[in-house]
Structure 1
Amino acid sequence: MRVAIVGVGGVGQVSACEVVKKGYVTKLVLADISIGPAEELAAELRRETDAEIKVRRVDAGDVASVQSILGDIDVLLHIGLPENNFQVMKACLHTKTNYIDTASSGPVWLRKQLAWNDAFQAAGILGIMGLGCDPGFSNIAARYAVDQLDEVDAILIRDGDNSIVDYDGFCSYFSPQTAIQECLAKPNYWTQDLGEQYFPTPFANKEEFEFPEPIGWLDCYNVEHEEATTLGETIGIAKGCKYVDFKYALHPNFVNTLQVLRHLGLDSDEEILVKGVKVAPRDVVVTTMPKPADLAGKIHGYSCVGALVKGRKDNKRKELYVYTMANHDEVFEQTEFQATIWQTGIPPVVAVDMMAEGLLTMTGCIPPELIDPIPFLERLKARGMAWHVIEKTSPLL
């Protein structure tokens, strides 16, 4: 298996370190527009694997640039900015290379990506859209829970983190661009009657949610996310699902800072003229923030992502919360990565595992919940990313 990773930031580095652990990878290309970190990583990996490791400078926003590295590549993991997904997908179509990304630029863009299904099928390749932790693991956890029930009422994705960070300033544990964009967008949700809809304002419907110990109760908000775009239609509606949403636990200081950015117009990606130079306000904010990979070792606490599915089984009400949890300090001690990017970088590698074993042979463009959850979750656990199920059952009244 010959693999290319486009985007060698924190998550890309996690995926690179994981994918070479198994002997089926004979070649790994690390590609980024800035190759310094990729060169350092390649030097480390060459001491740990017999696979051929190549480093290439690639502009993910340029189809020809991406295409130039894909001559003999079997699967490409795009772990760069979601805004470049379409250019990378187009390069993969030209070279008939399987494609996986970890996030989209929002619900509208995800639907457009999935609309390339016929083109990918005609090329005989697979494209998996949004296979990180959430989206990604969260979709597959939801599929696992839905499969256990006779009827489904609701699919609720819940993401919580109780950590503190040794940094005095505004920061995000994952892509700052994505964090600002999705948290300040109108949150999406899905209903059986009306399909995908949007709440009128960001940070909608604050509620307390009880995450597994040692996290406990956290304030969660509806946030724009990919899961609500697909889960209702793909796996929910056939079992009667009436509602799907995503909620994210956000610290009050994080929420307040984002609201100030919005009030000042500093969340905009539209360029403005400042002293004769064109700049996008959001780019200025992101530049002042630390890179998520640089927070490794500075975050202390637990990260949890899961799917709560409510429904019925054998004439009883049943709720299943299928989740993964990681301790930032333990992950750093074992891998030198922080837990959030580690949790995001493992799932796409599991899909590569399944491809290599002949367990993922479909073609077209799919969301993650269309992957068979049992073999996926087994291999996820084997990669060190444990998952668990909390089950609650009550009689029907």
Structure 2
Amino acid sequence: MSFNVVILGVGGVGQVCASEVVKKEYLTKLVLADISTKAAEKLAQALRKTSSATIEVCQVDASNTKSVASILDDVNVLLHAGIPEFNYSVMQACVETKTHYIDMASDGPDDLLKQLDWGDQFKQAGVLGIMGLGCDPGFSNIAARYAADQLDTVKSITILDGDNSEVDYEGFCAYFSPQTAIQECLAKPNYWTAKGGLQYYPTPFANKDEFEFPDPIGWLDCYVVEHEEAVTLGKSIGKGCEYVEFRYALHPDFVNTLKVLSYLGLDSKEPINVGGVEVVPRDVVVTTMPKPAELAGKIHGYSCVGAYVKGTKGGQNVELYVYTIANHDEIYEKVGFQATVWQTGVPPVVAVDMIAEGLLTETGCIPPEKIDPVPFLERMQARGMEWYVMKKTSPIIKTA
């Protein structure tokens, strides 16, 4: 029985996905698709030396449903590793061709809700759509679900993303998609409460607080940032959950640069006329930045992502931090990637493993926390992405 996979978008994360999926014998054919095929051709040549699967390269425009659908005739799963603004055209292609769909991020909280509303279309097509299955969102959701499953009640969930690294690059850069980094950090930060549902702070870089990450990272300043986890986790987890937020550790220089970009209007996605030429300000900024894949070997330090869940168990207050941590230099020496894109690329491939093994058989559209966390985390660990649990307990103090 054949099992064929398309990876759409062959940047840093897409390259990780490709390098991981070819390790399994279930794979019959891998298609590397991008609007620019240079990186895909180079990667395909390398992968053909290590895999018995057929590896093809196709030029595809992710913004065009027909273009995407044209390569999906015999494909089981499509991994969309491109920018989130093309999610809908790719989803439509998957519905039309009855292809399972996985992406790694949405184009904002409202867009995630709109994507999940495609559930009936995916069910009618008999396929599964998993929205936001990278590291965060993705692993972070599954880590939160795992922690909540250990508890009797859940009070709050905070997703924490911290990195203590330094980079050998003089200039403004981002370790993952620059477009996404600029957009989500300058958007109004969202959070969720049981009483008010999805809510927003009025300005970016809101509610800064200091959190202690596992050694050797330590204490970092973390900001509430726009992210997908707060959209779904509260309702999905239940157990009395009252509050969900995402916090991102941001270096002061990164924050100041983003504030200047925003002040100058250089974060805008709206075209402007410059000397008779239409240009998008944010695209100009992104063009001056290195691609995340180009930073491999230049980042030195640790990246940590996890879910910090507070609740109760057996009459005690319990705090669990379920997390993954990776050293950029060690990951580069081991697999040739920087840790951030590697941590993002492994989880969606684990979902492909579970589909191929018959462990993910449902249809419709789901957020990652709907996946059974135990088999998922087992397979993630088998692929070399370790995960850990920190636990703290205290007695419940009853007040009169």
Normalising by structure 1, report the TM-score.
0.99
Q: Report the equivalent of 1:77.
A: 79
Which of 133, 136, 143 pairs up with 2:135? 133
Q: Report the equivalent of 1:374.
A: 374
Letter in 1 for 2:276: G
**Deviation of 1:260 (Å):** 0.3
Q: Report the equivalent of 1:355.
A: 355
**Deviation of 1:85 (Å):** 0.1
Letter in 1 for 2:376: F
2:374 corresponds to 1:386: no
Letter in 2 for 1:163: S
- Partner deviation per Cα, 1:254-312 (whole Å, 9 max, x = no partner): 00000000000000000000011000100000000000000000000000000000000
Q: Report the equivalent of 2:218.
A: 216
Distance 2:146 2:213 in 1: 19
**Deviation of 1:20 (Å):** 0.5
**Deviation of 1:362 (Å):** 0.6
Distance 2:241 2:73 in 1: 44
**Local SS of the residue matching 1:286:** helix
Letter in 1 for 2:95: L
- Partner deviation per Cα, 1:65-96 (whole Å, 9 max, x = no partner): 00000000000000001000000000000000
Distance 2:66 2:125 in 1: 18
What does 1:207-356 align with in structure 2 at a 5 Å threshold?
207-235=209-237, 238-356=238-356
Which of 6, 9, 12 pairs up with 2:11? 9
What does 1:146-185 align with in structure 2 at a 5 Å threshold?
146-185=148-187
**Deviation of 1:382 (Å):** 0.1
**Deviation of 1:249 (Å):** 0.0
Q: Report the equivalent of 1:186.
A: 188
Which of 138, 143, 146 pairs up with 2:145? 143
Letter in 2 for 1:93: V
Distance 1:4 1:336 in 2: 22
**Local SS of the residue matching 2:378:** helix
**Local SS of the residue matching 1:239:** coil
- Partner deviation per Cα, 1:138-172 (whole Å, 9 max, x = no partner): 00000000000001100110000000000010000
Distance 1:59 1:360 in 2: 29
**Deviation of 1:8 (Å):** 0.4
What does 1:89-108 align with in structure 2 at a 5 Å threshold?
89-108=91-110
What does 1:43-54 align with in structure 2 at a 5 Å threshold?
43-54=45-56
**Local SS of the residue matching 2:303:** strand
Which of 116, 119, 140 pairs up with 1:117? 119
Q: Would you say how many aligned residue pairs link Structure 1 and Structure 2?
A: 395
Letter in 2 for 1:33: I
Distance 1:321 1:144 in 2: 10
Letter in 1 for 2:285: V
Distance 2:115 2:306 in 1: 24
Letter in 2 for 1:262: S
**Deviation of 1:134 (Å):** 0.1
Q: Report the equivalent of 1:40.
A: 42
Distance 1:396 1:181 in 2: 41
Q: Report the equivalent of 1:365.
A: 365
Distance 1:356 1:180 in 2: 35
- Partner deviation per Cα, 1:196-223 (whole Å, 9 max, x = no partner): 0000100000000000000000000000
**Deviation of 1:2 (Å):** 0.5
Letter in 1 for 2:371: I
Unpaired runs of at least 5, structure 1: none
- Partner deviation per Cα, 1:298-331 (whole Å, 9 max, x = no partner): 0000000000000000000000000000000000
**Local SS of the residue matching 1:43:** helix
Q: Report the equivalent of 2:207.
A: 205
**Deviation of 1:46 (Å):** 0.6
Unpaired runs of at least 5, structure 2: none
**Deviation of 1:122 (Å):** 0.9
Q: Report the equivalent of 1:60.
A: 62
Distance 2:234 2:311 in 1: 14
Distance 1:122 1:148 in 2: 34
Distance 1:241 1:140 in 2: 16
**Local SS of the residue matching 1:202:** coil
Distance 1:192 1:99 in 2: 30
Distance 2:252 2:102 in 1: 34
**Deviation of 1:43 (Å):** 0.5
Distance 1:294 1:302 in 2: 18
Distance 1:66 1:123 in 2: 17
Distance 2:143 2:94 in 1: 28
- Partner deviation per Cα, 1:92-150 (whole Å, 9 max, x = no partner): 00000000000000001000000000110111000000000000000000000000000
Provide the alpha-carbon RMSD of the alignment: 0.4
Distance 2:31 2:140 in 1: 28
Distance 1:36 1:168 in 2: 26
Letter in 2 for 1:249: A
